[in-house]
Chains A and B, each alone.
Chain A
């Protein structure tokens, strides 16, 4: 929003905003309103990609239709009419990049060989680079990491509101922990499984992005499953629940029970991840890393 209003997106053909959260939807409506009332003269037009994430039986058909409309809108904006075969080809290209992501995330499993601070930007770059370039660079990084010695320190999962910057990774790792996973579209979950394209590629894309979306509208059961799956590989959990969180805080009591059942140390951080850690959050982080170290020592005898 800031970038759009400041004119930094003036050369952008169109802003496409996915419906990952209610704030995203509002961002779309607000941009439209700014355009309508002529605030920000250089605003590009905005389009909502209304991909729903609930489990209703009518959602799949709706999502496929919205994806088809987006495909057509993109053709209009770009002036290039792409075929479904073109889309299949793009899916295959991107699946190669997804495989590269998985090779990187493998280096975080078991005894990790890469810090979260280093891995997180490598994984997030999946969204920013052309697939072939990403696959090449990620493969080079994976080869380098595979030759490294294992890292000591308690393995930490970052959950709660999805992190989109490496500040919390740095906070954990400056205390001796290693972030090995984060429930975030920018981290281990960025690429997910391949897009399976056996029939209509539009359906394949809409199904994939619905199933793999991570955000406040992701069904709570799916988030809990992701976290439960990650618990097997970690010694502690840090939940980020910043002041603007409206959704993930509701999961906390249930998650707390799950952590207690597995005797996994955990803590909640309530500050904005873009700001320096508050004293109270820093103290919580100290405590949870200490508890995780104790647990590790006990586990390893």
Chain B
């Protein structure tokens, strides 16, 4: 694995490990509840009634990064689940269902009090239902209404005019599902959600994301990228799972300060940078070295992924008179922001321009069909904007069919022939 260039990255990794150890202690020793949730569920609602929430995607990334996914996925296949099913959303389930195949990372997931997921892709209901059944835990599902209208340039509306982003009936539905979720978690914890505290939390989330916006600005405008994409992700995601907390805010500021100092001192992630790359898709968690593999050979640096950029554009909400509506407006359209036309493609093209991107590598995950099909629109939009695109087939957590040397060779050839020629 590439050396970490920022102290903040080391601190973020240490925090996550300690956070998870504390969670296990809390659950096992103090018999306190925690929740296992999809990444697009509002974590704030759980945190404010003192139920820590673990993200399914985060856990899958940990398992994959420890190179433990293959054994669980093999066990899942041996149990009769065919190869075309989504691995990213189900790896966590597999690590629970087939827990006897190996020792899980960091001691494994304790039994949650509840699971919660928004029903975006068609598989979510089934994966979470089975997972809840295996744990013997409650599953709260939040349905995901579809959008008939998606206004152009969503990121220009999302901060101040967020009510215009989501059709009123969808927003009302999303609010009612969150209110039902709140009722349930209040009943579990016997604690009332403090609406004033929710507003304060969302204000702190805004501050956190404003800080990331400033980092994004530094990455976009500095002569050479001051921070690798992988380290952006580590710092951003460690805070996103506990967003709006004191630690998250403080860490975001420390990260910004370190990046700012690097820019001021002219320190680059890859000195002599010759090509700026963007990564389209979720992280390649089982092979994060891929992202630094072209620095030595081509001085090509991954400078952009959705993880840093989406925080400021997707999370900031000003005008918090009705904090639940603001929260609902954020999560109601996650899939449309990130995967579906026209929103995903026009946002990514704008990001590419802002970041002076020379080329895009687009992940085509074979098992994540719902996410993958929208990529074709993104590729077309990027190419129309004059940005060369290389699609790469691979799975974000499943390394079994991944050919690291082949993928690297494909990128090198692409850089030689389409980007730096």
Contacts and interface: CB of A to CB of B under 8 A. Distances in A.
Contact of B127 (A48, A244, A250): A250
B58 interface: no
Given A30-B341, A54-B143, A62-B169, A252 B126 contact: no
B146 interface: yes
B107 interface: no
Question: Residue among B81, B127, B143 with the most chain A CB within 10 A?
Answer: B143
Interface in A6-43: 19, 21-23, 25-26, 28-30, 32-33, 36-37
Contact of B122 (A21, A36, A268): A21
A26 B370 contact: yes
A59 B119 CA distance: 13
A220 B370 CA distance: 19
A48 to B, nearest CB: 5
B20 interface: no
Contacts of B84: 241, 243-246, 249
Interface residues of B, number: 40
A270 interface: yes
Contacts of A50: 145-146, 148
A26 B129 CA distance: 24
B119 A54 contact: yes
B348 interface: no
Contacts of B377: 30, 33
Contacts of A246: 84-86, 121-123, 369-370
Given A22-B121, A26-B374, A247 B126 contact: yes
Contacts of A221: 129
Interface in B64-85: 79-82, 84-85
Contact of A29 (B120, B340, B369): B340
A33 B177 contact: no
A22 B340 contact: no
Contacts of A59: 143
Interface string A50-84: 10101111110010011000000000000000000
Interface in B114-154: 119-123, 125-127, 129-130, 141-143, 145-148, 150
B145 A250 contact: no
Question: Residue among B85, B148, B336, B370 with the most chain A CB within 10 A?
Answer: B148
Interface in A268-289: 268, 270
A293 to B, nearest CB: 24
A216 to B, nearest CB: 4
Interface in A208-259: 216-217, 219-221, 241, 243-247, 249-254, 256
A2 B142 CA distance: 33
B173 interface: yes
Nearest to A221: B129
B125 A219 contact: yes
Contacts of A245: 82, 84-85
Contacts of A270: 82
Interface in B399-417: none
Contacts of A26: 340, 370, 373-374
B342 interface: yes
Contacts of B120: 22
A56 B86 contact: no
B82 A249 contact: yes
Nearest to A250: B126
Contact of B341 (A21, A33, A66, A216): A33
B7 to A, nearest CB: 42
B129 A220 contact: yes
A47 interface: yes
Given A26-B374, A29-B341, A253 B79 contact: yes
B28 to A, nearest CB: 29
A37 B85 CA distance: 32
A110 B130 CA distance: 34
A48 B180 CA distance: 26
B288 interface: no
26 contacts: A21-B122, A22-B121, A23-B122, A23-B369, A26-B370, A26-B374, A29-B341, A30-B377, A32-B150, A48-B146, A48-B148, A50-B146, A50-B148, A55-B141, A58-B176, A58-B180, A66-B169, A217-B125, A220-B125, A220-B126, A220-B129, A245-B84, A249-B84, A249-B85, A252-B82, A270-B82
Given A29-B150, A55-B141, A216-B122, 4 more contacts: A57-B180, A58-B177, A246-B86, A249-B81
